[in-house]
Structure 1
């Protein structure tokens, strides 16, 4: 059985020597990159943690502030159908010092809260004095930090040194660290000794933004803006829609003349969330500035299965809560009504005005009855009653023992009679 023949692996080798503290961009090209193919960078057989990008059948890698740890072999591998098709090997050598007064270097940094830049002076010679200066596009040269033999670093401003900056004197190294990088920090930075300008670094800053900034929905328009602080050579500004680490070109702008600020805007017709603004100079990737679009909850056209289940649970809980509230409210009303009826009933029975004592002189009433009966007219009308009264009064006849007491002005008998006024009210 014949084994399947595979084409030989194509290998390309290059090497370069770069200055300590500079930025390095490596590029690997293939004729055609299909969707089933992968193209990636490795360092010494391991995946690199640095920024990578796949764009236009090319794989890019950015190395910021290289030092001795950055040295080694970088492999660009094209994988297709599980086999290696192409290998590009780039050997990187880094100088032990950063002597660059003969030529200035340009670096790019995104203006963001997590970006930083380290400006390094590292020499094989010893110097008594070091200082870093900054010259912006609109101002004259300003001292930032300085140190003299045997002393501590003096902070002069206006850019405050970061945690990676030098704090004491070192005759062979002086570092100025900036963190975070603001957009207005662009300009020319110089490391100066007592005799010469040791290094010159030109910093260009990049800023990306989205409008509206607090989240958008699919029914609203979105505008992405990418800005470069200054352009002095040929620069290409590109907006890429990211699909993993693969960039899809959406819009680009090429500037070949000097300009204070380069700006590129794009109105989105699709609402993918991951975007990057890329800066190229002569087909070399110089910077990547990512941005993420935050979509609000009203973006989805139809609820997903999980969101539908969640909504059902929320609605069920809301109905249960409403039933409990209505039941509690009804119980409170019923209790209040019963309490009102109870108080009303008690007020009727316990009102002191409903039953007041009435004191009557029983003896006086009896005498009045006798006197009225003793008139001649009453005698004629009721002779029998008159005789009974006289007989009872003078002890002739049966008499209740309670009435045996002779009636005088000092012997008065009182009785208390209670009656309900409500029965007599109309």
Structure 2
């Protein structure tokens, strides 16, 4: 049966509408009212996302400055510690081949107070120097007394900060308030700001008004810590270990290691965590050929909701040789070696100087030119002595030898005792005299 033109037209319209539905997904709308001071996570998903396309969140035609992640054909955004400034519409837009398509519109309404009663707010923060958290206690009513308390896991409750009408704010606990904490009394708002966030700051925080129970606001802070081994730089031919750890788990959650390509995450490893796990951490071992992507993030999910992101960057050394000593330890060894060499050189130089001065001093007291004995006619010496005593001229002309014989510091004289028999002209007596030859040279 041949198709009529009208039926052909209807079929073509249906095909075009189907094609349009595939190319341009329908707009999804949502509206949510949340309390002041909580974290809000938004998710936008498409059926297929090519590498050339982009999916991102915007607010009032501008990109948001909050955390954004693109993973598994979905775009995530986390709004930390929201207040009335975060209220409004958020648009999830798909950009592909120059076309922009709105996929989702989320309207966020923020209440004017942070009252939770018996309910608890769960927030997640990375433990780092750049991380912070603001605990906001805000009410419509006026209260004369406010205080924030902290109860670490398995420990008793501790007062952190308190204020009373007509008095100054008192800091009581071990956690020092950050720069955005309340410093004066306000009957409707009391804020405790923590910066930076340490890993052991996890626990239950309660805002108590006028010392009444239940608390006005109860917030459970979960901290996340990421690390890399070795910590001081990685050589290109060496594998590394990434570790992501969460402080505590109240409900089931999933830890995921993502290798980042821009804001797009590629799955590295994931694991579901519960209270039964002895170690609340996820490790991934990267071989030497997998360390080129330097940027990684640990993502925390509760079901399909992104709760937190903890980024880490692997720094590579310029050397291509493997080493078993981290850079920091190597620097310590190098400094110690240089110091030892300097001390050794100084010791050698000092020893050489002492030896030089010792040799110089000994050369003054000991003349190395003292040598073999010289024999002298004693009779001739006597004759010369008589002649020197007669006239001054003869004394001046006397041999130089005699003066040196008299100087006991430089010469040693050993004269043998002669016989009692008077000397005659023919008798000659010899004596052994040690003296310096060089002084007799003319």
Same fold at TM > 0.5: yes
8 Å CA contact retained: 1:145, 1:157 = yes
2:77 aligns with 61
Q: Does 1:237 align with 2:255?
A: yes
Q: Is the contact between residue 119 and residue 218 of structure 2 (CA under 8 Å) also seen in structure 1?
A: yes
For the residues of structure 2 that align with 1:159 and 1:260, how far apart are their CA atoms?
Answer: 28
The alignment covers a number of residue pairs equal to 298
Structure 2 equivalent of residue 291 of structure 1: 312
CA contact (8 A) 2:44 2:103 kept: no
- Alignment of 1:49 with 2:65, yes or no, is yes
1:280 aligns with 2:301: yes
Which residue number in structure 2 is paired with residue 178 of structure 1? 194
| Distance apart, 1:7 and its partner CA | 2.4
RMSD of aligned residue pairs (Cα, Å): 1.7
Counterpart of 2:224 (choices 206, 212, 218) is 206
8 Å contact kept, 2:237–2:321: no
Shift of 1:220: 1.1
CA deviation after TM superposition for structure 1 residue 258, in Å: 4.8
- Matching residue within 11, 14, 20 for 1:7: 20
Partner of 2:246: 228
Q: Distance in 1 between matches of 2:258 and 2:226?
A: 12
Cα distance in 2 for residues equivalent to 1:11 and 1:185 = 41
Shift of 1:282: 1.1
Asked whether the equivalents of residues 165 and 176 of structure 1 are also in contact (C-alpha less than 8 Å), the reply is yes
Q: Describe the superposition over 1:42-86 as per-residue Cα deviations: whole angstroms up to 9, x where unpaired.
A: 001101111000001100000000011101110001121111244
Superposed CA offset, 1:118-154 (max 9, x none) = 0010000011110000000131000000111111110
Whole-angstrom distance in 2 between the partners of 1:118 and 1:193 = 18
Distance 1:36 1:169 in 2: 54
Q: CA deviation at 1:209?
A: 0.4
SS of the aligned residue for 1:130 comes to: strand
1:38 lines up with 2:59 in the alignment: no
Measured after TM superposition, the shift of residue 260 of structure 1 is 7.0
The corresponding residue for 1:123 is 139
Residue pair 2:91, 2:102 contacting (<8 A) in 1 also: no
Task: Name the counterpart of 1:24.
Answer: 40
Match of 2:181 among 165, 170, 178: 165
Measure the CA separation in 2 of the matches of 1:55 and 1:69.
28
* Shift in Å, 1:268: 0.7
The 8 Å contact of residues 228 and 261 in structure 1, kept in 2 or not, is answered as no
Distance 1:156 1:299 in 2: 53
1:293–1:140 Cα change, 3 Å: same
Question: What TM-score comes out, normalization by structure 1 length?
Answer: 0.68
Distance 1:160 1:258, change over 3 A: farther
- Structure whose alpha-carbon radius of gyration is higher: 1
1:22-421 → structure 2 map (5 Å cutoff): 22-194=38-210, 195-196=212-213, 197-259=215-277, 262-269=280-287, 270-271=290-291, 272-299=293-320
The TM-score with structure 2 as length reference comes to 0.65
Once residues 48 and 230 of structure 1 are traced to their aligned partners in structure 2, the CA distance between those partners, rounded to angstroms, is 30
CA distance in 2, matches of 1:260, 1:182: 21
Q: Extract unaligned runs of 5+ from structure 2.
A: 1-15, 323-440
In the alignment, the residues of structure 1 paired with residue 188 and residue 30 of structure 2 have an alpha-carbon distance, to the nearest angstrom, of: 32
Aligned pair in 2 of structure 1 residues 59, 300: CA closer, same or farther (>3 Å)?
farther
Confirm or deny: 8 A CA contact 2:87 2:108 kept in the other structure: yes
Quick check: 2:203–2:221 contact (8 Å CA) kept in 1? yes
> C-alpha separation between the residues in 2 aligned to 1:67 and 1:260?
37
1:68/1:171 CA distance change after superposition, 3 Å = same
